[in-house]
Amino acid sequence: MKKVFYPLDLSALAYPMMQTKRTQSNFRFSATLIEPVQPEALTRALEEILPLYPNFKSKIKSGFFWHKLQASEDPVLVAEDSAAPLSPLKKTDTNGYPFRLAYKGNEVVLEVFHAVTDGNIGAFFLSDLLTRYAEIVSNAEEKTDLSRGLTLSDAFITYAKKKSLRKISIKSYNGRSVIALGKKGNYAPVPRLISEEIDLPRLKIKAKESDATITEYIAACYVTAILQDYEAPLKKPLSLFVPVNLRRFFPSDTLQNFVCFERINVEKGAKDLSFPAILETVKDQFRKKITKDGMQRRVDDISKCFRLPLVKFIPLCIKRPAFQLVKKIIDKVRQTAILSNVGVIKLSPTASSIVKDIRFFLNISRNTPLNVAVVSYAGRCRVDMTCGLKKTEIPERFFTLLNR
């Protein structure tokens, strides 16, 4: 059989080169059902929806210049969950596919390697999986048409405009040395998943009273909770890394990554670290930085940098070790934490009748060991933290402030 290959999108090219034995850029969804998961039905549901997601139905292979996706017909694996959350994917758990599907009791677990797609498409995949699973276990006579019109395409190439290399600010991507939450001796051997349910209508009311979006409001609560450990004026800046779904600004039907990242900063020397002051800072930067013009610059930068002849045509066998070496040489903490809001997940009536709850978690690293993810489902908002530290003062302060 002839091998079929797909290119990774431009933003995903770095992910396979960044991964190590200990860390991999993954994200995790989990769904709690009203009854124990039926493994055979879950496996069948996965097999039926995979053809709609060719980027999931593939394996990441090393090419001459870059990693790429190779279509696969190998059997999928669905097993009882026994892996540490958000640890690098193992072939024994995935059969080489870039995602892991597992179950435990009433819970369905989906972990995805970011090189394949972003959390927004991951949410679609989960939704379709749960819809088909619900139809299988209920012996539904008719099945939902799950076709979304999504295709494998690189939206960064589609929307990029020509740009001179001189106009790219390397400094803005390299970042600065910022407040770090990880400290030697305070790392937990296995990350904990901490989740709080927030009443979505009440959260909307409180955010609206402050002329803030839900993401801005939660971000301000988190930054305030972190800064309670620091005295004013700040001796180091704090930087919150926020993924931005570019589909908000550019219509795209891509199955692959179409997000970029923006830094929300509390600058060195800041004197007022109260929640009202932090909220105004967060709102101001969200609205100044996350605009169509700002995101166009990000798309242009990504396209320019990864398509430079010097970068593009260096063989992968040289590129990857060089990438790791440069990473070690300029190693510094460029962001204090990450916060991602994947928005509202909607399920079909058949699926929503058996799914009680959905959660969403981000991977962590030694430099960013406390990351927050947000997902809404059935009128409830889940604020989920992946905690890689032994001490939990910051998570406790954060959830206390948010609930209060």
pLDDT in tens, 378-397: 999 999 999 999 989 999 99
For residues 299 and 290, give the distance between their C-alpha atoms in angstroms, rounded to a whole number: 12
- Decide if 161 contacts 298 (C-beta within 8 A): no
Phi/psi of residue 27, nearest 5 degrees:
-130, 160
For residues 267 and 289, give the distance between their C-alpha atoms in angstroms, rounded to a whole number: 15
* CATH architecture for residues 5-146: 2-Layer Sandwich (3.30)
Assigned CATH topology for domain 168-343+362-403: Chloramphenicol Acetyltransferase (3.30.559)
For residues 96 and 100, give the distance between their C-alpha atoms in angstroms, rounded to a whole number: 9
Phi/psi of residue 236, nearest 5 degrees:
-135, 150
Cα→Cα distances 70→54, 58, 253, 255, 300, Å: 9, 5, 21, 15, 27
What percentage of the chain reaches a pLDDT higher than 70? 95
Q: Which long-range contacts (CB under 8 A, 24 or more apart) does 322-330 make?
A: 323/14, 323/17, 323/18, 324/17, 327/18, 330/174
pLDDT at 49 over 80: yes
The model's pLDDT over 79-91, given as tens digits with 9 standing for 90+, comes to 999 999 999 999 9
The predicted pLDDT at position 312 comes to 76
The model's pLDDT over 320-371, given as tens digits with 9 standing for 90+, comes to 887 777 666 555 678 999 999 999 999 999 999 999 999 999 999 988 999 9
The alpha helices in 170-315, defined as continuous H runs, are 170-174, 200-209, 214-227, 275-289, 292-306, 309-312
For residues 243 and 175, give the distance between their C-alpha atoms in angstroms, rounded to a whole number: 16
pLDDT at 191 over 90: yes
**286-323 as b/e, with b when 16 or more CB fall inside 10 Å?**
beebbeeeebbbbbbbbbbbbeeeeeeebebeebbeee
Higher pLDDT, 261 or 317: 261
The predicted pLDDT at position 299 comes to 95
Mean pLDDT of 272-295: 96
Q: Give yes or no on whether 5-146 and 168-343+362-403 have one common fold.
A: yes
Question: For residue 30, which of 366, 357, 298, 266 has the smallest C-alpha distance?
Answer: 357
Enumerate the domain spans of the chain: 5-146, 168-343+362-403
Phi/psi of residue 38, nearest 5 degrees:
-95, 105
